[in-house]
Structure 1
Amino acid sequence: MKQIIHLETISEINRFVQQGGAKHPLVAVIDFSKVDEYIEAGTRISCGFYSVMFKNYCINNMKYGRQQYDFQEGSLICIAPKQVVELDSEIEKREDMMGWGLFFHPDLVRGTALGSRMKDYSFFSYEASEALHLSEKEKQVLHDCIVNIENELNENIDSHSQNLIVSNIELFLNYCARYYGRQFITRKHTNRDVVGQVEKALKDYFYSDKLEKKGLPTVSYLAAIVNFSPNYLSDLLKKETGMNAKDHIHHFVIEEAKNILLGSSKSISEIAYQLGFEYPQYFSRLFKQKTGNTPQEFRNLTT
């Protein structure tokens, strides 16, 4: 396995792609049509900053997270700091080869309104196979945002620079969030299949010996079943059903708890352990949070 190349600063990404000195210490826009893209097969790269990349051509056998992925034409990926990407040297050569990358360090947005919202842009934690596929109109809107950021970078840095750059990055990310919402809708038929797989996975888990051995199922467990990242699965389920992945787990366990409460004389502690809770107090607290009653109150109301 090849050594990971770690790029911690914006200056280092500029040097890596041979784009000269950085115009700003915390943010860069890179034109991929001007970059010599030969990368040795198996090269693994990790960055200390946020990366957003769009290309109109394919990169074969890109590995990001757990999966291999063909970086398809017209797709955009968003990568959080410290994630590892592995790239092959196989690149589809074409005369109109183009693309761009937006790279910004967490320090740029730290202490700003955008900094407090970065966790809401969950697509930075999606797998590469969950890339955003853009329409021509969407490509143009995002490109216009990139041009605005680049124009600001070409100005002399002054007291307004950071606010203007951060505002344009926030606008860009908000458009990405909108377009991901559109992508969830246009893939509705496929999404319904995923919802069914999640429901089946929960039933199989609860009706096996996994509860006793491993405790409650996790979002990561469900995501692995359907080959999605935890964040992507949660966002997909939220768009499709109004409940994220954790909500689905909690809904299932509460419905099972109701059945056991009404169909047996087991104690609350016994039911909690049966349902995979390590502490009965947590079960009782979750039950009351979801139903408005404690388990014992629910049992008394229906007897």
Structure 2
Amino acid sequence: MDGHIPKEKLPKLYEQKEDSLSKKLQVFSRQEHINVKETYAKTARTPYSRRDYYKICLTTGLNPGKGLLIYNNEEIPIDGPCLILSNPWVSASVEFSATETGRFSCVFDHHFISGVLLPDLQYASSLFNTAIHPVVTLSLDQQERMLHYFKTIQELVTSDYSFKWDMARTLLQLIIHEAARLQQPQYSSVLKIHDRTVEGFFMLLHKKFPVDLTDQPLKLLTPKYFAEKLHVHVNHLNSVLKKNTGKTTTVIINEQIIREAKTLLRNTNWNISEIAYALGFDYPSHFNKYFKRLTASTPREFRVDR
């Protein structure tokens, strides 16, 4: 089997926008990258795809019902000024049906932000923590502040300022901080977790996904596997996860696998056997029983009803 899910890469993004990936928008020898683009055009629904870069979209002047985000198989209306944060792990699609919708998109790669954010901040941001809602609603004052950050980055990347990339990195951190701060009251139950074992568990779990190749199957994940990686007893891991999330290790793992299974069933042409193998099941029948036990429908029934 050679099935795979293509990832949109930054050069492809610029190619689609009829824009060149110019060298002066690259940083240093490692090709770190950040850029801000502005548009007011309507957009049809974009392909439901994964990317190899991060994207933060700022919308302005949007009337209710004029935008729709499809994120992790959930349809989210985009009403009014907001930030939309997307990452390489979760497939996303967005459409805007109004020309009065102003949008600034900040795209950047892993290298640009690597090593500059505290682990606690990453856990509190939907850019890195897929358990947090990807849309941050903004007041008019908050929109103006964000707009200033985006426009300043836009000016910096084409300027001759010697330290423009450091300044752009600082502004990007401000945007990420602001988004996490604004979401904190709404998601305090998620963001209050400070146990290093819990954070380590979710970081390890998220690294296993997404599944993009049928010939590189996901090894079936178990509580014991994560406990050994974290150098703790499996009972301790289960205890701290239960305390901080209300869910056992097994439940969290199962939820992640089922989310990925639904994504593959909805958005690929892989047959069910290929999906089963990609998710680490030795036999399709085992995957069918697993999926039905946790969703009350078979993979085939889910795909037909999608």
- TM-score for the superposition, normalised by structure 2: 0.52
Flag structure 2 segments of 5+ consecutive residues without an equivalent.
Answer: 27-32, 199-222, 228-232, 243-306
The one-character-per-residue Cα deviations of 1:140-174 (angstroms, maximum 9, x if unpaired) are: 1111111221121121374x233222111112211
1:131 corresponds in structure 2 to 135
Q: Percent identity?
A: 9
Distance apart, 1:72 and its partner CA: 2.2
8 Å CA contact 1:69–1:128 kept in 2: the answer is: no
Q: CA deviation at 1:59?
A: 4.7
- Structure 1 residue identity aligned to 2:171: N
Give a deviation string over 1:102-128, Cα, whole Å, max 9, x none.
111111123x42386763343223479
| Aligned CA distance change for structure 1 residues 105 and 115 (closer, same or farther; 3 Å) | farther
Instruction: Give the deviation of 1:53 after TM superposition.
Output: 0.7
Q: Which residue of 1 aligns with 2:18?
A: 18
Matched with 1:173 is: 176
Distance in 2 of aligned mates of 1:37 and 1:92: 5
Alignment of 1:19-38 (within 5 A): 19-22=19-22, 23-25=24-26, 26-33=33-40, 36-38=41-43
Determine whether 1:93 maps to 2:98.
yes
Structure showing greater radius of gyration is 1
Picking from 107, 112, 116, the partner of 1:113 is 116
Is residue 144 from structure 1 mapped to residue 148 from structure 2 by the alignment? yes
**Counterpart in the other structure of 1:203:** none
Equivalent AA in structure 1 for residue 170 of structure 2: S
Match of 2:84, as an amino acid? I
The amino acid across from 1:18 in the alignment is E
Check 1:103–1:123 CA distance in 2 against 1; reply closer, same or farther (3 A cut).
Answer: same
The match for 2:8 is: 7
The amino acid of 2:25's aligned partner reads H
- Partner of 2:101, secondary structure, is coil
- In the aligned structure 1, how far is the partner of 2:85 from the partner of 2:237? 37
Are the structure 2 counterparts of residues 286 and 105 from structure 1 closer, same or farther at C-alpha, using a change threshold of 3 Å?
Answer: closer
* Counterpart code for 2:7: H
Q: Is the 8 A contact 2:25 2:35 kept in 1?
A: yes
Figure out how many residues of one structure are paired with residues of the other and give that number.
Answer: 196
Change (3 A) 1:103 1:115: farther
C-alpha offsets along residues 160-193 of structure 1, whole Å, 9 cap, x if unaligned? 23322211111221111221125x2xxxxxxxxx
Give the 5 Å matches for 1:162-241: 162-182=165-185, 184=186, 235-238=187-190
User: Within 2, Cα distance between the matches of 1:287 and 1:114?
Assistant: 28
- State the shift of 1:284 in Å: 7.1
**Contact 1:49–1:105 (CA<8 Å) still a contact in 2?**
yes
Deviation at 1:30, TM superposition (A): 0.9
SS of 1:101's equivalent in the other structure is strand
Q: Distance in 1 between matches of 2:124 and 2:174?
A: 12
Q: Distance in 2 between matches of 1:85 and 1:27?
A: 20
- Give, as a single letter, the amino acid of the residue that structure 2 aligns with 1:66: N
Contact 2:126 / 2:132 at 8 angstroms: preserved in 1?
no
Give the aligned residue type for 2:35. A
Which of 53, 59, 75 is the matching residue for 2:57?
53
Contact 1:74 1:134 in 2 (8 A): yes
Paired with 1:72 and 1:48, the residues of 2 have a C-alpha distance of 27
Higher relative contact order (CA 8 A, sep 6+): 2
String of CA shifts for 1:260-295, please: whole Å, max 9, x gaps: xxxxxxxxxxxxxxxxx989x64479779x9xxxxx
Equivalents in 2 of 1:143, 1:68: separation in Å?
A: 26
Structure 2 match to 1:250 = none
Q: Deviations over 1:8-55 (max 9, x none)?
A: 12x33233233454451311101022xx5443x572232211110122
Q: CA RMSD in A?
A: 3.8
User: Take 2:6 and 2:239, find their aligned partners in 1: how far apart are those partners?
Assistant: 48
